[in-house]
Amino acid sequence: NAGVTQTPKFRVLKTGQSMTLLCAQDMNHEYMYWYRQDPGMGLRLIHYSVGEGTTAKGEVPDGYNVSRLKKQNFLLGLESAAPSQTSVYFCASTRTGGTEAFFGQGTRLTVV
Amino acid sequence: GENVEQHPSTLSVQEGDSAVIKCTYSDSASNYFPWYKQELGKRPQLIIDIRSNVGEKKDQRIAVTLNKTAKHFSLHITETQPEDSAVYFCAAHRSNTGNQFYFGTGTSLTVIP
C-alpha cells in the first residue's frame, strides 16, 4: 500500500516552460488536493477535486490547471512557469469529508 | 471563507517542558480540526484531531482542546523530547464546502536537549 505518491520529486524549469505533476493514490479516496508550501505561509490550496471528472479552484489557482480523469490520479499543470511558482507542492487525499488527509512526499519545483 | 491564524510562529522549549500552540478560526461552521506534524524535508502527517462536538482529546503526550464559543483550539505537548522538533500545522474543515482544509501558517518547534 503506497498511499499517495507524487512524481517527480524535484524539477527545475526555465521561465515559460510547462510541466505536469502527477499525484496517484491507491486508497480509493474520493477527494484529492494540490497545495503549495512557501516559507511562513503554510499550505495554500491550489485546486481540489471531490470525485472523478470534477475539479474546483482553491485559494491560489492562477497559473495552474488540473485534471482528474481517473479516480486515483490528480494532475497539476503549469502551462507557462514563472519564478513566483517556485515552491514545494504537496498532493493530498481524503476518504470523505472531515477525515484524515494523507499527503504525498512533495515536489520541489524551482523556476529560473 | 475560513481564516485560520496560528501562534507562535516559532517556539523553543527545554527537553521535558511543555509546548502549547494556539490557533483561531473564523467560520463557526467549521467542525473538524486536525493537527499535522512536518519533519524537515518530509510530508505533513496527522498527529491528532478533534471534532466540534468534543472539547478535549488526548493521545499519550499530546492533547488538543477546542473552545467553540471563542473559536480557538490548541495543541499541547507535554514532556517534550528532541524528536518532537518539527513544524506543526493546525487546520479547520467544514464538511459542506467541498471538503476544503484551511491551514494555519505553521509553528516551528525546537526542543533543546
CB contact burial A2-41 (16+ within 10 A = b; e otherwise) = eebebeeeebebeeeeebebebbbeeebbbbbbbbbeeee
Kindly report, residue by residue over A29-83, the tens digit of the pLDDT.
999 999 999 988 889 999 999 999 999 999 999 999 999 999 999 999 999 999 9
pLDDT of residue B98: 66
Beta bridge partners of B64: B57, B75
Kindly list the residues from chain A whose CB atom is less than 8 angstroms away from the CB atom of residue B98. 48, 50, 56
Backbone angles phi, psi at B85, to 5 degrees: -65, 125
Q: Which amino acid is at A27?
A: M
Q: Cell numbers 479516496 label which residue?
A: A29
Kindly report, residue by residue over B75-107, the tens digit of the pLDDT.
999 999 999 999 999 999 987 766 788 999 999
Q: Which of B1, B42, B103 sits opposite A43 (nearest CB)?
A: B103
Mean pLDDT of B36-59: 94
Kindly list the residues from chain B whose CB atom is less than 8 angstroms away from the CB atom of residue A56. 98
Q: Distance (Å) from the C-alpha of residue A83 to the closest C-alpha of chain B? A: 21
Backbone angles phi, psi at A94, to 5 degrees: -135, 155
Kindly list the residues from chain A whose CB atom is less than 8 angstroms away from the CB atom of residue B29. none
Q: Which of B43, B49, B101 sits opposite A106 (nearest CB)?
A: B43
Q: Are B91 and B100 in contact (CB under 8 A)?
A: no
